[in-house]
Amino acid sequence: MNRRVGADVQARVGVILEELVESGRESGLQVAAYLDGEPIVDAHAGWADRPGGRRLGADTLIHSFSTGKGFTATLVHVLAERGLIAYDTPIAHYWPEFGAHGKERATVRHALTHTIGVPQLPSAVTPEELCDWDTMCAIVAAQEPLWEAGTASGYHGWTFGWILGETVRRITGLTPAQALRTYVTEPLGVADELFFGLPESELARTAPLVEGNWAAWLESLPPTAPFRRYVAPNRAVWTVAELANRRAYLLADLPACGTTTARAAARLYAALSGEVDGVRLMSPERVALAADVAVEGKDLMLLGRYAKGLGYFLGLPAMAGERTAFGHHGSGGSIAFADRGRGLAFCLTRTRLVAGAADTAAGLLADEIRSAVTPPRTS
């Protein structure tokens, strides 16, 4: 056990998980954490499929929606580390069709920072179209931007995945799922636990999601709210359990989202903040570039104020507001991040989708782990 962490941290986290499930606040959760590249927590509780009587395990796969954007950003940075992609190169250089309607100067950096100006989906888009890669890439390429690239930031909830994923495909000749496996998950030893689209063979160990109050929260947003109007324009493509439990959706290569175990995602972030079993995904200099503030201020889609790095959110509540922490959260309360200041990596995956006052598990569990960790020496 790492000397910077209390020996009972695993047990303490396990008690909290059991209490959350027994109270009925949660259905099934996984929590994992690394410190200085070493695993310190790998805990789980509850149900993978309560009606079916299947308990949740450490290797149960859980769809975690936009937590997967952190995987996509990491893939792009790994390719940049290898000289295969450049942040300030226009996307149209790699994907000429994307340059339509004044987007010819929009860059990879703009896509990573949600400043590219194309967060919108067609109002009548269907789940079937959502799962059709070529169809969605053609739709996104043909969109007129809502603002000039680089002049504002607004969360690209779905389009982030096609914009960066198709760029990766044009560069590598691999689908996003194949590229993630080749450049990220195989080197890390988590190729069977961290995915964009699932292999069909993995469906059986994937936990169905269940609704808490997340769908009701989406419903409460006025139809004129930017998120409802542009990012999620109709109920059929809301990031809710009904969509996530569709077989075709889970199999689709959608790098705006991801399916993972907590321990795999925590390992990924540990390999960003340091070295894990001899593997480091990118240099410290590139991590600093990716995880420092790139844009900050009001998000035109989410309407709150956020700090964003290159593909990651910084200082979210579960990160204790620390600007040294970077990662991504997902619809319904999942999150994965690294805290460079502490040498800590953390992931929470969950089967019950919640929002607002019900969304307390990530902060509660991350605080418990942080409280058990001694700060690193600075001298």
Kindly report the average pLDDT of the chain as a whole number: 96
In a domain, 53, yes or no: yes
Q: 181, 202, 217: which is the final residue of a domain?
A: 181
- Mean pLDDT for 109-119 is 99
Residues 99, 94: Cα–Cα separation, whole Å: 10
- Mean pLDDT for 332-338 is 98
Tokens of 247: 């077989």
Percentage of the chain modeled with pLDDT above 70: 99
What pTM does this model have? 0.96
Contact criterion met (CB below 8 Å) for 102 and 90: no
Residue 377's pLDDT is what? 63
Residue 379's pLDDT is what? 46
Q: Is 331 a catalytic residue?
A: no
Q: Is residue 1 over pLDDT 80? A: no
Residues 296, 221: Cα–Cα separation, whole Å: 24
Q: Is residue 34 over pLDDT 50? A: yes
> Do 60 and 201 lie in a common domain?
yes
> Do 51 and 131 lie in a common domain?
no
Q: 148, 181, 214: which is the final residue of a domain?
A: 181
Q: Is residue 378 over pLDDT 70? A: no
Over the stretch 49-107, which tens digit does the pLDDT of each residue have? 988 889 999 999 999 999 999 999 999 999 999 999 999 999 999 999 999 999 999 99
- Mean pLDDT for 210-217 is 95
Q: Which of 64, 66, 153, 334 is catalytic?
A: 66
Residues 357, 7: Cα–Cα separation, whole Å: 31
CATH code, domain with 30: 3.40.710.10
Query: Helix, strand, coil shares of the chain as percentages rounded to 5?
Result: 40, 20, 40
Domain that holds residue 275: 9-69+194-372
> Do 324 and 346 lie in a common domain?
yes
Q: How many domains does the chain have?
A: 2
> Do 15 and 51 lie in a common domain?
yes
Tokens of 36: 């200085």
Percentage of the chain modeled with pLDDT above 90: 94
> Do 202 and 114 lie in a common domain?
no
> Do 120 and 262 lie in a common domain?
no
Residues listed for the chain: 379
- Mean pLDDT for 116-127 is 96
In the block, residue with structure tokens 């690209």 = 156
Burial class of residue 364 (count of CB atoms within 10 Å of its CB; 0-12, 13-18, 19+): middle
3-state SS, residue 42:
strand
Torsions phi, psi for 159 (to 5 deg): -70, -20
In the block, residue with structure tokens 């309560």 = 50
